[in-house]
Structure 1
């Protein structure tokens, strides 16, 4: 069982910026592309429904992968997916909890925290028990990006530097603060900046930050674009630090960014990862969830992102929460 993170405890970023991000996702409606925050409306042009699907920032993996799912579902069922770009995991669990999204992509650690009301200060006493799992997808790799000549070679070298830890309240920020804390770098030991993946890589390019955390299935498009125009390096999360990270937060697993994934990265880079997953909420019709799940996993050959990882056989690996009955009907 995953343990509660006792970070002094995300008081600086999660307690302020992170909490503000969560408050926004709890209190404000997130609109889909047709201007309606509520999902699950009848589709006037067919027998299916218009389903709101919350993804992530356009510079990561969630958004283009969600585009693949949209194409597949709309070609295979009567349903229409309205894909929304969002702040990703923490924002998305709030949208699911309020039933303003029908489906969303989230990290497995954030799913566990949200449903159990633990792990992060934002979730304490606010368990989101209506969220249900659909399927796990692929490893979300922790990238620690820096300029090639920065002199930053280890996580410990980030002490005293300026670091973009991700969008406020995002899963990326959560993971970054966990890793920094494990390395002995707490609040006040570095200058924290926040922004989405595109902002983070632009800051690296312009020298506005020393390093940035980006969490996504490699290759992450924003990092890929940065590496084509700038000399970058990836900081390893390896050795004793990696073992300590996994001990402190049991949802992390060993991972490697293969040599050649990004221009200028000529050797494998050891790091850790969490798991991306599809989630829904218990208010979505069982038949709809089964149809959407079947469409995706019966047509994985049409997926263009992370194709080597996504499949029926691995779709419940690392699933941290109860399955929606519609997903259970498909897989079991």
Structure 2
């Protein structure tokens, strides 16, 4: 992301509501809401690494989102193709995972590309302002993290502007979801003073929608988000199809946003495609992690993408550096250089910015 985009977007204005929230104890994407955070995955595989292998702590997200089941598939692939063992943990996703990487409590994690940029460059969130987490490195980008804006059918919300005066759940305080929601609303001229902001995880937001206590909720996650699927089967909901003019305003507000579409039939009762925007899910690691270990795990995943079920249509070597917002780890760089005959370079400098997070 270029410096002029950073200057043009007044994050301090729209993040005043985030203020006192502690970044590292809070949830990331609402769709990755923690359910028993810090739990290790028990879905198969050995508890002990083979000779020459290591125990690797991998932070995912809540069990109702996309990060956790996808991480379980990565666990299976890595353990079948390397001597290493992955301990997959249920967490609050992006923001919490950044803190765990920064503190050395995790070896790998799934996070959003915008949150990665904020953390490394010490911006975007009040908790990162002047306090960059500089030891985080990129491994690969994976798939679009789609912005779902869920509304009640009787709320008569046909555009972002219609959220003025509405009761809107923007996700947990300090979460990646709240950051995205406030960025999006700010891009069309709405500040937190223009609507009634609610801040909870998605389980509570789902109850609020069911009970008519809110008019809209933001959810960030690769479709289909399991918790959204469940809500759609029990509650009459709609998704905001963002008008083209408003989508363009969002894209111009920050380069990590990309156009996206929720296909018709993804969720029960959604019979037409929904135009929206997305950020990008990515794998991150720590700078000090052994280069050979990172290369082993990167190779295992991207050499065996045909074994994936979750987001399989998006995850590939060809797109693995699209939207990479921070500097690559040397182990990941070595793998991608090998795949491209040595000519591949990271699409991010870690200092000068990010490419657009396109699919």
Structure 1 residue 239: deviation in Å?
A: 1.7
For residues 202 and 86 of structure 2, what CA distance do their matches in structure 1 show? 24
Greater mean alpha carbon deviation, residues 270-279 or residues 232-241 = 232-241
Q: Over the residues paired in the alignment, what is the CA RMSD in angstroms?
A: 2.0
Asked if residue 21 in structure 1 is aligned to residue 23 in structure 2, the reply is yes
Describe the superposition over 1:103-156 as per-residue Cα deviations: whole angstroms up to 9, x where unpaired.
011111111111111233221111111110000000111000012232122111
Q: In the alignment, which of 241, 247, 256 is matched to residue 242 of structure 1?
A: 247
| Alpha-carbon distance in 1 for matches of 2:321, 2:130 | 27
Does the 8 Å CA contact 2:182/2:192 hold for their aligned counterparts? Answer: no
More off after superposition, 299-308 vs 162-171: 162-171
1:153 partnered with 2:155: no
Query: Does residue 223 of structure 1 match 2:225?
Result: no
Q: Deviations over 1:44-73 (max 9, x none)?
A: 664311111111122211111111111111
Which of 287, 295, 301 does residue 296 from structure 1 map onto?
A: 301
| Maintained 8 Å contact 1:136/1:315 | yes
Equivalent position of 2:77 in the other structure = 72
Instruction: Pick one of 23, 27, 40 that aligns with 1:33.
Output: 40
Q: Distance in 1 between matches of 2:151 and 2:305?
A: 34
Distance 2:25 2:211 in 1: 31
How far off its partner does 1:76 sit? 1.3
- Normalising by structure 1, we get a TM-score of 0.90
Residues 191 and 314 of structure 1: CA distance in aligned 2, closer, same or farther (over 3 Å): same
Instruction: Please show how residues 1-332 of structure 1 align to structure 2 within 5 Å.
Output: 1-2=1-2, 3-4=5-6, 5-17=9-21, 20-22=22-24, 31=38, 33=40, 43=48, 46-332=51-337
C-alpha distance in structure 2 between counterparts of 1:80 and 1:134, whole Å? 18
Greater shift, 141-150 or 7-16, is seen at 7-16
1-structure distance, mates of 2:314, 2:329:
22
The CA distance in 2 between the partners of 1:232 and 1:24, in whole Å, is: 27
Counterpart residue number, 2:33? none
1: CA distance between counterparts of 2:152 and 2:51? Answer: 51
**CA distance in structure 2 between the aligned counterparts of 1:296 and 1:130, rounded to whole angstroms:** 23
Q: Secondary structure at the match of 1:204?
A: helix
Question: 1:94 offset after TM fit, Å?
Answer: 1.2
Structure 1 63/199 Cα, relative in aligned 2: closer, same or farther at 3 Å?
farther
Q: 5+ residue gaps in structure 1?
A: 35-41
- What is the CA-CA distance between 1:31 and the residue it aligns to? 4.8
Q: TM-score, normalised by structure 2?
A: 0.84
Contact 2:166 2:215 in 1 (8 A): yes
**Higher alpha-carbon deviation: 195-204 or 232-241:** 195-204
Contact kept, 8 Å, 1:179 with 1:245, in 2: the verdict is yes
Shift of 1:32: 5.5
Contiguous gaps of at least 5 residues in structure 2: 28-36, 42-46, 338-359
How many residues are treated as equivalent by the alignment? Answer: 319
Secondary structure of the 2:214 match is: coil
Distance 1:13 1:46 in 2: 50
